[in-house]
Structure 1
Amino acid sequence: MPERGENMYRIQTFNNIAIRGLERYPRETYEVASSLPDPDAFMLRSHNLHETPIPDSVVAVGRAGSGVNNIPVDLLSERGVAVFNAPGANANAVKELVIGGLLLAARNLIPAAEYLRGLDGDLPDFEKRVEDGKKRFVGFELPGRTLGVIGLGAIGVKIANAARGLGMHVIGYDPKITVESAWRLASDVERARSVDAVVSQADVITFHVPLNDQTRNILDATRIRSLKPGAIVINLARDGIVDDTALGAALDAGRVHAYVSDFPTPALIRHPRVITLPHLGASTVESEENCAVMIADQLRDYLEHGNVVNSVNLPALSLERKGDSRLAIVNRNLPDRVGQISHVLGQNGVNIVHLVNESRGNLAYTLLDVEGAVDAATAEAIAGIDGVLRFRIL
């Protein structure tokens, strides 16, 4: 491996990252490989980073997908490492799978196909058996039915709008809906005040939320009892969102029509009312390429310019470059950190041209452009300020 040049960055990859994403890194200034000494950043998909040693050289981690449960975000935050994801890049893939699963469940297509596959075409009563199947697998149409959407982010909004196009009434719930999502949402989608309000009204309910303490078993035994008789439940979000044991009992009792899940369990994998998939949510060529491109661009922007787009632990922040040098500082969100940084620079004769600071939870992030170069002593003094977790000169 050649020695790293002054402006050379190293990206260590895990999993198979789409070539379109990797091509976003110029060969003149980036080394990209699955094994590298002292990498500046990790780029991964489903790899379990909780069990992977993370060198001190790593300043950023990019997940080519939306969920970050496979990344130790809290640990990395304590080290001042930015964690990025790709929200919305896989939204169309998941939307199409949800609509596909909904149609399969509403029309009983999977059990109907299995029924025919089990028939002997040489039997004299074959045609009669086919007609018997027609009666057994009567489904229902979607117009006029109510779809409940829990989580109105990039994916949830697309699903809500698509369902409106199919003639469904849509009711959604998201206490943290962003302005961008609200603008994209069809105006006739009804906003619910609680999860329970959605559960009690929906003929079909679909979940699009991250897995955390608030969403674990969000559809539990109590809420399952509140579902409308014959409801369809769809979970392509995260394992653990739905209490599978309680839902299995409701399926057995015939109170729930069908369950579409991307998270197979031994107990439900052969259930006649369950359509279970091998984690296909974002498994399309287009989705994998979109995620890889988005993450590659975000990592480049952070490594080269310090700008933060779609980070799950740092505040969104960008700054047009104006000075000779740029400083990027991640610190604990404590009083007077910006003042102390400015004081150190002033004491060492460094003039600030432009500065922006934002905070998010326990972390704060500062980008500032200065005139001239920052010498080693000044850099060491800034890095030594109490609470500074990561200091870079770009």
Structure 2
Amino acid sequence: MSHIVDHNKKSVLALLLPSGSRLPALVLIGLWMFYLQLKILNKKLLNLNNLLCYDYSALGSTGTNDDATHMISRYRKPLVKATKIVIITHVIYIFILLIDRSKHYFDTTDDIVYNSTIESFAFLINLTPLLQIICILYLTCYINASDFMKHVLKKIIMGCHIESGSSRLLYILVSDTLTSYSKSIVDFTMFNLLNLFQPYSNDMEKWLISIVSLIVGVIPSTIRFVQCVREHQPFNAIKYGIHYPILFLTIKKLVYLIDQGNIDKTYNIEMMLDWVFFLHAIYSFWWDCTMDWGLELWNFTSNNNVSSTWLRNSTRFSNKTYCVIIVVDFILRFVWFWQLIFSISLDPFLLQFLEIFRRWLWIFLRLEYESWNNLYVSKE
């Protein structure tokens, strides 16, 4: 059915977190990081509750920092419950996958498992990551989320909408965070499709599954692209629209890989992809610093009267904090480039986690800038 793989060739991380389990793990990690972020920013930003449009009407309050603490506490409870469920089910899942290694059959890329003793239940066992994601979303985004948050999620997912006014930032934070999970979504989709259609009979069927998974992975970027078009922001739309030529080139590369005689064409596609990735990373890094964080370091269009410093006239964090975040953002934007230059290959889960970490840092300065911008505009 599939060929046996030497487990010694797999890293410990790859064995403990197969491709299908990366997304549930990263979603939980991301949610806990956001929880920590809320606790930190609640001490730094006086208007955090207004930035996140938390509804305090049920509390009979106008939204003070004490009420923001209530929001953070309410956010934590379902997260703890979801974490316990995911950890328990994941331990059982990994135990089943690793039990009696000599009788397990792994596919080298998708981690789908078949075992002669549990073959009848293989499909159900491989549904574990999907059920974990459903559990996380149900507890955090359905049962315990506010009505307004449900409204935002529905608008984003169903119609790529974005609203103006005070709620606009929340739409951007959710949509941009989704883009950081794109690679995890590709792996997760491929894992579940392979599980659904197993056993696949030839490479062509697996190739089609890869294409579908790549298309699904572009959905988060499509959401932000459509939002930018709706807001008439063509230069921001470019940042997300560039994922379409990347998708096209990647699919074309897969087509050439099937044809063993097109090695030269495959090399040319890889060169084109490297250049597209490089230009996208530079443009995105500049956009982070100048447009999303409002820093003057590379703002070539700024008015000299606006700021007298390379950061801003007013900041909430120390200059060292901004320097560290800028440097880390640059390094992680080009992490693929460092792998290419130094001929190293990082574990896929580690790469995907680094992108979540980069997004976490990005949210710090994005919220801080929005807070400063609101106060600056109100003074003007």
Question: Would you call these one fold, judging by a TM-score over 0.5?
Answer: no
Instruction: Give me the TM-score of the superposition, normalised by structure 2.
Output: 0.22
Question: Which of 1 and 2 has greater Rg?
Answer: 1
Which structure has more relative contact order (CA 8 Å, sep 6+)? It is 2
Which structure has greater strand proportion?
A: 1
Instruction: Give me the TM-score of the superposition, normalised by structure 1.
Output: 0.21
Which structure has greater helix proportion?
A: 2
